[in-house]
Amino acid sequence: MSRIAPERVIWLGGWLLTIMAALWVRGLLPIDETRYVGVAWEMWLRGDFLVPHLNGQPYSHKPPFLFWMINLGWWLFGVNEWWPRLLSSLFSLASLFLLVYFARLLRPGQTAVHELAPLILFSSLLWTLFSTGTMFDIMLAFWVLLAVVGVVRAAHKTDWLSWWITGLALGVGMLSKGPVILLHVLPLALLAPFWVHREFNWKRWYGGLALAVLIGVAIILAWAIPAGLAGGDKYFHDIFWGQTANRMVKSFAHQREWWWYLPLLPILLFPWLFWTPAWRRLAPAGPGDFQAGRLLLIWVLPVFLALSLISGKQPHYLLPLFPAVALWLAMSSHDAEHKVKGSHHWLLALMFILVALVWFIAPIISRDRPLPPWIEQLPQWPVVVILLLGLAVLLPWSPRSLRTRSRVVALSSITFTLVLLFSVMKTLYKPAFDLHEISTRIAALQENGQTVAVAGKYHNQFQFLGRLKKPVDVVSWFQIKDWLKDKQPAYIVIVWKKRPELHYQDDEFIQPYRGRWMVLLRRATLRTRPDLARP
């Protein structure tokens, strides 16, 4: 029986520990996770799997695949909170195994590369953290990787099955997060002459690519056309135009400057940006029919530039590029194994030491400066652990073996992520993000026939956590005076920047929420204190 590689033990064990830790220390996070699970909950209640709804209205911002997967799990296991939170981690795990297969395509026979690539991917801080969340991006990353595997496999085997794989991945990827998957895959396929270095039938190649795109478009249209017709004219317009072209030209949210991603790279690629041996060989080549380094560069660079030029930016938008970066670093580390001499780990150790120092002094300086109050509540035991991680990277673990050192770096990074979960997230979740109690109160009020409204914009925070059976009213700040004139008993949720001074009755509720205060008030109370109706 073949021995399991140490790298695989690390990333499999790290995956299991991280997911268990995340499930234990926190629940669903507002506003994104509660919004998406709330949409799935309304789909479950309505039995309408064609048009997603948010608070009773058609929801056009995202396609339905995540909501379908959540409902599938609820059908199998019953309605619960753990299944939606497990989905991204399952797609993360599938991506790790798929990356092993992709590494074998690019570097046949190089076992070290096959095992190191998924280790680097999972131990990247951003990938590890988002593997624990109910979001779309890890899922999208899996479909992007599968589509790229199909493209590279088509160059290797020149068969039509590869293009069918690519088409399936494109279609389900569009069902997961829209046409953005085409941005991630098409440049690599269109520029194949720059990374395939052998005689090739290019007419057959581009014909296969056209077939894959048609398959993908057919899959997304099989949902979008009937959904658009069922959801009405506005929903039809939004899913075919408003959430695609308009987002790229001018995003309605998360607008940033073109250079916004660049200063974030040290955090996004932590710890591997500081793993200097991999960056000393910036053009990994290798045997086979592909110029592997050029292939990965063509995959990453055009997409990164395009995402930088698109107005809407978030760190997790880059996650589908992480498998390419991980494979690049794995190949570079393998190629540099016998060529790098001397100390090459001090920079990463210094980063851990700096993090520990900042962690130690932040609560002290926050007493005299306007820093978030939760900083003072952070425990100090992580300082010792992080210093030990820096020491572990610095110790002479088989100094001639970069592969051994890469295992130490990965273990340090996974441990650092666990430290963040058990310290920062555990400290913050209950006082800042946990909306279970107020959601339960709103559900009880609705069950008793009371009307509940939300002042300002509503992000669907209460729908699933309270298992609400009907929507809440949404009242803009300009409408509150008119809303107060109604004599019928009702309640409203308001979020204030500062804690309000109120004389509470038993049926009123207040809690901290994301650095502010969320209050559930009766209309009668607000009518006597109109000054409270201010954000």
Whole-number pLDDT of residue 254:
62
Decide if pLDDT at 496 tops 50.
yes
Tell me, what's the pLDDT at 1?
46
In this predicted structure, the answer to whether residue 289 has a pLDDT above a threshold of 50 is no
What does the DSSP assignment read for 217-242? HHHHHHHHHHHHHHH-HHHHHIIIII
Q: What is the pTM of this model?
A: 0.92
pLDDT digits (tens, 9 = 90+) for 310-339: 888 899 999 999 999 999 999 888 776 655
**What is the model's pLDDT at position 516?**
84
**Contact present, 134 and 84 (Cβ < 8 Å):** yes
Give the range among 95-104, 111-120, 196-205, 288-297 with minimum mean pLDDT: 288-297
CA proximity to 90, closest of 44, 30, 142, 126:
142
The predicted structure's pLDDT at residue 485: 81
Strand partners, 473: 453
Residue 268 token pair: 């996004």
pLDDT digits (tens, 9 = 90+) for 257-285: 888 899 988 888 889 888 777 666 655 55
Mean residue pLDDT across the chain: 86
What is the pLDDT at residue 527?
73
Q: 514 is written with which tokens?
A: 């994301």
State the number of CA atoms in the 13 A half-sphere of 154 facing the CB.
29
CA-to-CA separations, 306 to 64, 74, 186, 194, 327, in angstroms, rounded: 25, 37, 12, 19, 21
At 428, is the secondary structure helix, strand, or coil?
A: helix
**What per-residue confidence (pLDDT) applies to 341?**
55
Helix (H, G, I), strand (E, B) or coil at 207: helix
pLDDT reading at 232 higher than 70: yes
If you average pLDDT over each of 57-61, 194-198, 312-316, 338-342, which comes out highest? 57-61
What is the number of other CB atoms lying within 10 angstroms of the CB of residue 107?
24
pLDDT beyond 60 at 250: no
pLDDT number for residue 340: 55
Closest by Cα among 398, 404, 412 to 352? 412
Q: Would you say residue 535 has pLDDT above 80?
A: no
Mean pLDDT (whole number) for 97-104: 96
Q: Please indicate whether residue 285 or residue 297 has the higher confidence score (pLDDT).
A: 297
Task: Specify the higher pLDDT residue, 366 or 150.
Answer: 150
Determine which of 2-16, 177-191, 341-355 has the lowest per-residue pLDDT on average.
Answer: 341-355
In 366-401, where does DSSP find H-type helix?
A: 381-394
User: What is the arithmetic mean of pLDDT over 17-45?
Assistant: 95
User: At 469, is the secondary structure helix, strand, or coil?
Assistant: coil
DSSP state of 192: G
Strands 490-496 and 451-455, by their bridges, are parallel
- pLDDT per residue over 391-435, tens digit each? 888 776 545 577 788 888 899 999 999 999 999 888 888 888 999
Note the pLDDT of residue 534: 59
Q: What is the pLDDT of residue 243?
A: 59
Predicted local confidence at residue 482, as pLDDT: 83
Q: Which of 124-128, 357-361, 484-488, 520-524 has the lowest mean pLDDT?
A: 484-488
Q: How far is CA 529 from CA 14, 315, 381, 439, 470, in A?
A: 53, 42, 45, 24, 28
